[in-house]
Structure 1
């Protein structure tokens, strides 16, 4: 019987596996995909996450590949509204870094394979999970598995969450975006750390631009509808129409996506009575726990989703260690995890909601008011607070 079984081998599940393995636990990961995805979804990695990656021995290799973003510029109608520097927001790592998600996942998988060879199992589908109070039984298409605790890191459509009977709570409205990578035509610097992000708060909706390694740049534009048939040429035309910037040489297909903000009503299963225990006796702590998108679906605008999941992992690891060593404390430590991380999820959703609201189409008095707010937020003393928020120092 494993100490911990993690269902979902994406960046959050594999990060948690590494943290637990470094802490000495017997951990295994089940991943439904037979082959890793090469989609470059989440790219931003914030300072608190870099500290967590350093603790598991991954940060140095990641920083060798990533682009460091020390500042972000805000523009509208061809004018610069302001700039935010991240250098004072996080002294240990005075930058946000950008790296395609598939590269980040590869680094995490390689590290976990060093720590627990053969324990990352690809092409395995979970078909059922049942919390018995003293252990969890997991059924898969390759046979049953038992573990002391099962972690759902299997994304927004989590089967683990569904099996545990945990419902979603909707937070705010949804939005749609179109995303794609292009050759970076921005002026280059001899210093590799000088790459910058640009936010275009335009009349027709926000356009965001972030540097990536190997001379690439990620562009994301808010759209009026889910443009599933749009291609890179459509995205390039939209960028030019709103910002005046001409992008060329697409690197891969454009993709449309919809953003919803939802929070699980609990982040671990209900407590159960241990089989054979007295009806009046204490109830065992629930042994199914959620992390990442399985627990909270947050807008990726602002780069919070993957990083929020990593911070879940950092908080959950010591709680699981305590629960395994001292079963009597399990209920209280998991309740604290649930309380603190759902609170962090709500704060992240509020911040993401603010970001999305600022990026919506604006004209006339609303446009002037929005631009005035943006200018004020990039000036002292507000700029340091905003920089700390955008680097996730409060989550």
Structure 2
């Protein structure tokens, strides 16, 4: 049996697991990241990186590359019935990063992976599926399968700590017997990326329409993402269907022949009852699944990792993990509850309304946007500050 050894094993090589790996490797901690995927998903949903996350990511030296490749969204505009209702400027939300950065998740992951591999070429093990673990109180042994690496099959990895960053459907959370409080919502979305001929430039746009919201964000390479709120799951909807919905609600018709991504999702959320169990720690979506509306989930996971890294350094090489991480668990749960509440507000603002109520809501939003203090407060909340 092949065996890997490290101070910390991270199950999951998505953006959150990779960031934590980078933080720890920089401090001389040995890390093994076990990632089931052998290639990156080009259709991942997350694109927005908020200022607090950029500040955190700057700790591992990846921000210059992220900013160079991404689109800096400095302003958002709300429209309804073909007229501008209000604008939201991000220029005052952060001294260092006065914008929301838009970059497809697959590229963000690649930049993070490159940094991890620069720190340790052997830290990332792809094609590794975690099948179980044992925690003897002094350390953790992780069993995994790796068909792409026959020399490692069957395999295990030993570590002082195991971090489960294996996503919203976390297998390790289930193995720990940790329940997650789940909510489902009446909100369904269809989204796609098209060549951008909207005339909106580098602005984000929210179209507040009677049939439901349409959200739109610029992406690198002259691409624009369109997200349409639906009353029921999208089913087998096509790029042509999405372009038609966008056109009917906004007057802007993306060219379906240029679509580079099409995806549909229904919204739910979940917050784990606990995130620390012995020497195993749940991180990111494994600990809290947040609605994608508002773009908080990935950012929240990065802030989790930033808070966790110094505690890992304190906990190594031994000692009960729970005694180091109880405050972390409480603080990050509070952050997850706040993020879920904000996402729920975002979704509520985008639901269909009868015309009279829509006019009242739109007028109220316009009035609020015209008050500088309120506008700045809303921009701070939108950017997770």
Query: Given the alignment of the two structures, is residue 349 of structure 1 paired with residue 340 of structure 2, yes or no?
Result: yes
Query: Given the alignment of the two structures, is residue 288 of structure 1 paired with residue 273 of structure 2, yes or no?
Result: no
The superposition leaves residues 303-322 of structure 1 with CA deviations (integer Å, 9 ceiling, x where unpaired) of 11110111111011111111
Aligned to 1:386: 378
CA distance in 1, matches of 2:35, 2:184: 31
The superposition leaves residues 116-155 of structure 1 with CA deviations (integer Å, 9 ceiling, x where unpaired) of 1111000010111222211112111131211111111111
CA distance in 2, matches of 1:337, 1:174: 32
Q: Are the equivalent residues in 1 in contact too, given 2:57–2:63 (CA < 8 A)?
A: yes
Residue number among 82, 89, 104 corresponding to 2:86 in the alignment: 82
CA distance in 2, matches of 1:92, 1:325: 36
Q: Are the equivalent residues in 2 in contact too, given 1:198–1:208 (CA < 8 A)?
A: yes
CA distance in 1, matches of 2:342, 2:35: 31
Q: Are the equivalent residues in 2 in contact too, given 1:231–1:253 (CA < 8 A)?
A: no
CA distance in 1, matches of 2:104, 2:355: 38
1:326 is displaced (CA, Å) by 6.8
Query: Given the alignment of the two structures, is residue 154 of structure 1 paired with residue 166 of structure 2, yes or no?
Result: yes
Distance 1:236 1:91, change over 3 A: same
Aligned to 2:185: 173
What secondary structure sits across from 1:327 in the alignment?
coil
Q: Are the equivalent residues in 2 in contact too, given 1:376–1:382 (CA < 8 A)?
A: no
CA distance in 1, matches of 2:261, 2:222: 17
What secondary structure sits across from 1:373 in the alignment?
helix
1:252 is displaced (CA, Å) by 2.1
Distance 1:313 1:174, change over 3 A: farther
Aligned to 2:310: 318
Aligned length: 371
1:350 is displaced (CA, Å) by 0.2
- Mapping 1:55-134, distance limit 5 Å: 55-134=59-138
CA distance in 2, matches of 1:86, 1:195: 13
Q: Are the equivalent residues in 1 in contact too, given 2:276–2:322 (CA < 8 A)?
A: no
1:97 is displaced (CA, Å) by 0.7
1:377 is displaced (CA, Å) by 3.3
Residue number among 246, 262, 267 corresponding to 1:239 in the alignment: 246
Distance 1:201 1:136, change over 3 A: same
The superposition leaves residues 78-125 of structure 1 with CA deviations (integer Å, 9 ceiling, x where unpaired) of 111100000001111000110111110110000000011111000010
1:325 is displaced (CA, Å) by 5.4
CA distance in 1, matches of 2:190, 2:381: 25
What secondary structure sits across from 2:260 in the alignment?
coil
CA distance in 1, matches of 2:364, 2:313: 45
CA distance in 2, matches of 1:331, 1:49: 26
Aligned to 1:273: none
Query: Given the alignment of the two structures, is residue 261 of structure 1 paired with residue 273 of structure 2, yes or no?
Result: no
Query: Given the alignment of the two structures, is residue 250 of structure 1 paired with residue 258 of structure 2, yes or no?
Result: yes
What secondary structure sits across from 2:232 in the alignment?
coil
Q: TM-score, normalised by structure 1?
A: 0.91
Q: TM-score, normalised by structure 2?
A: 0.93
Aligned to 1:207: 214
Aligned to 1:376: 367
Distance 1:311 1:47, change over 3 A: same
Query: Given the alignment of the two structures, is residue 359 of structure 1 paired with residue 378 of structure 2, yes or no?
Result: no
Query: Given the alignment of the two structures, is residue 137 of structure 1 paired with residue 129 of structure 2, yes or no?
Result: no
What secondary structure sits across from 2:259 in the alignment?
coil
Q: Are the equivalent residues in 1 in contact too, given 2:43–2:261 (CA < 8 A)?
A: no
CA distance in 1, matches of 2:283, 2:209: 35
1:253 is displaced (CA, Å) by 4.1
**What is the CA RMSD across the aligned residues, in angstroms?**
1.5
